[in-house]
Amino acid sequence: MLKLRLSNGQEREVAKGSNLLALAQELQGEYASPIVEAVFNGEGIDLQRPLQTDGTVSFIEVNTPEGMRVYVRTLLFMLLAATKKLRPDVHLEVRNTLGSALYCIDNSQQKLTAEDIKAIEAYMHGMVERREPVQLTRLPKAEAMELACAICSEDSLALLKEVPEDTVLTVNTLDGWNGYLFGAMCPDAGYVPYFELLPYADGVVINYPDTGSWTVLPPFEDKAKLNATYQEAEEWSAMIHCNTIGKLNKIIELGYAEKIIQIAEALHEKKLAGIADRLASHKELRLVLIAGPSSSGKTSTAQRLSIQMAVNGLRPIAISMDDYYKNRADSPRKADGSYDFECLEAIDLELFNDHLQRLLAGERVKLPKYNFRTGCREYRGNELQMQANSVLVVEGIHGLNEKLTAAIPAENKMKIYVSALTPMSFDEYNRIHTTDMRLLRRMVRDSQFRSHDAEKTLLTWRNVREGEEKYIFPYQTSADIIFNTTLIYELAVLKKYAEPLLSAVPQSAGRAYTTARRLLNLLSFVKPIDDTVIPNNSILREFIGGSVFKDAL
């Protein structure tokens, strides 16, 4: 028998080789939404995974960011299984999220019709009604590889070959279809009743609930410009044969890492030059606003773009939005009484717009400087007057929100959305989350430049994400230009910096430790790369160090 200590202090004994599903069902009444994953000795595991040792146990419910990942993963598995049942000739490939929807491209010659998609959706709802079980089988690597040869792509096989020989791998089965989807899944289809399938672009989207509102299915919001940026990155990385971790590993193994770095960096330079050309052709342009989520590379982007603008004869002038914070005593507060420095109302919008209007009118303006120590704006003699070819460049969280620059006519400004929209995936079904890539960037940067350990970064990440959901993502569709800052080689670079930081997170850190173990597992599939050849103006240098851009805008 095994001894288990629960998060509520209780102790239980279970037979060795049993799982946590029955215990989760017993304790479900203590949770507001269905339990979909267990945390065993700090590591997130499937509820059906057999236990072999004593340990501590807690549970993850669906109405959380971690739980919604399980929900979406199960939905995807249902879609793949249902498609194989009804249209076995169709091959779907997972691409990217669009808000609370997941886009899958149809790579088949005979594409899915709208009627096919309706039939597949109906079949999936049938799975929900009969609570079709998601079976879990644990196999030694040799047996798992033998099965994989029949059901997996070359990319999947390349990944599985990377794991140690003594690894036990998980295979899931649903309605007679076997598959490898990395991470926990719901025990049966009855756990995921809220979804819809919609024809979209060259495939289908699964629309699902938002995190925190798992019983409410929001209407699908088309983000065509964002999706086009994703697809452009996907097609480009596929064109140079580096769109999966398996292919990247092979490039590194063959000694072509430096070449792939040069190609990726050249793409960034080409894209930034193209954006600068577009700005230069906009004769009435006087203001460029740059916004994006945390660790998207906004600072390096703004400075590299400014250089390209200067090449075109423009004179970019940086203005810091931070200098227009209200005095701390006048700042808005959250419900708990703490200051809310992320909301738009923390900015003195009246003063900011007044200065913008006066600058655009050719006046000389005395600019403020915010003193973060005293919490007050100060005036230190810094004055600014625009010339005929001057363009103000403002980088900050609220750049896409029209309320920030309401006094400036649309014809005088351009809004640029910056984010790391990674085209890389493990294989056709297992994608790399953009949020994970940004979290790794932030964690490495915090360690390099802010003396923060990984535990602190991981524990504050949820608050960062909540701020992005409120103040950035709702406005991304209003961007005139989207710049994708991802670099196809960067996960292999971040691995060297991130693994020691993640390994140092103690089990006592709770949620941070669970996330650290998941990210370590992700990085275990990636071969490391030498970063000495990365140019000093690379966006990645903003996070790992060695950037030529010393000062933020």
Tell whether 488 is covered by a domain.
yes
CATH of the domain at 193: 3.30.980.10
pLDDT in tens, 158-167: 777 777 777 7
Residue 410 CB contacts under 8 Å (≥ 6 apart), including other chains? none
Task: For residues 402 and 381, state if they share a domain.
Answer: yes
Cα dihedral sign, 31-73-442-221: negative
Residue 356 burial by Cβ neighbours in a 10 Å radius (0-12, 13-18, 19+) = buried
Tell whether 553 is covered by a domain.
no
Task: For residues 210 and 234, state if they share a domain.
Answer: no
Quote the CA–CA distance of 20 and 46 in Å, as a whole number.
8
Q: What is the mean pLDDT of residues 303-324?
A: 93
Average pLDDT over the chain, rounded to an integer: 92
Task: For residues 107 and 239, state if they share a domain.
Answer: no
Largest pairwise CA distance in the chain: 80
Q: What is the mean pLDDT of residues 390-415?
A: 93
CA angle centred on 62, ends 56 and 64, rounded to 5°: 85
- What pLDDT sits at residue 356? 93
Q: Are 191 and 75 in contact (CB under 8 A)?
A: no
Task: For residues 335 and 352, state if they share a domain.
Answer: yes
Residue 403 CB contacts under 8 Å (≥ 6 apart), including other chains? 344, 349
Quote the CA–CA distance of 522 and 171 in Å, as a whole number.
17
Domain termination site, one of 17, 40, 61: 61
Q: Which residue bears the tokens 């809220």? A: 194
Tell whether 179 is covered by a domain.
yes
- Count how many domains the chain has: 3
Q: Give the range among 148-157, 372-381, 400-409 with minimum mean pLDDT.
A: 148-157
Task: For residues 39 and 17, state if they share a domain.
Answer: yes
Tell whether 550 is covered by a domain.
no
Residue 250 CB contacts under 8 Å (≥ 6 apart), including other chains? 158
pLDDT in tens, 439-455: 999 999 999 888 889 99
Quote the CA–CA distance of 36 and 66 in Å, as a whole number.
9
Task: For residues 122 and 183, state if they share a domain.
Answer: yes
Task: For residues 216 and 246, state if they share a domain.
Answer: no
- What pLDDT sits at residue 146? 73
Res 151 pLDDT > 70: no
Res 552 pLDDT > 50: no
- Domain residues for 127? 66-222
Task: For residues 57 and 70, state if they share a domain.
Answer: no
Of 437, 487, 102, 100, residue with least CA distance to 293 = 437
Token code pair at residue 369: 């400087």
Q: Three-state DSSP class for 302? A: helix
CATH of the domain at 512: 3.40.50.300
pLDDT in tens, 494-545: 999 999 999 999 999 999 999 999 999 999 999 999 899 999 999 999 999 9
pLDDT in tens, 214-264: 999 999 999 889 999 999 999 999 899 999 998 999 999 999 999 999 999
- What pLDDT sits at residue 18? 92
Task: For residues 354 and 273, state if they share a domain.
Answer: yes
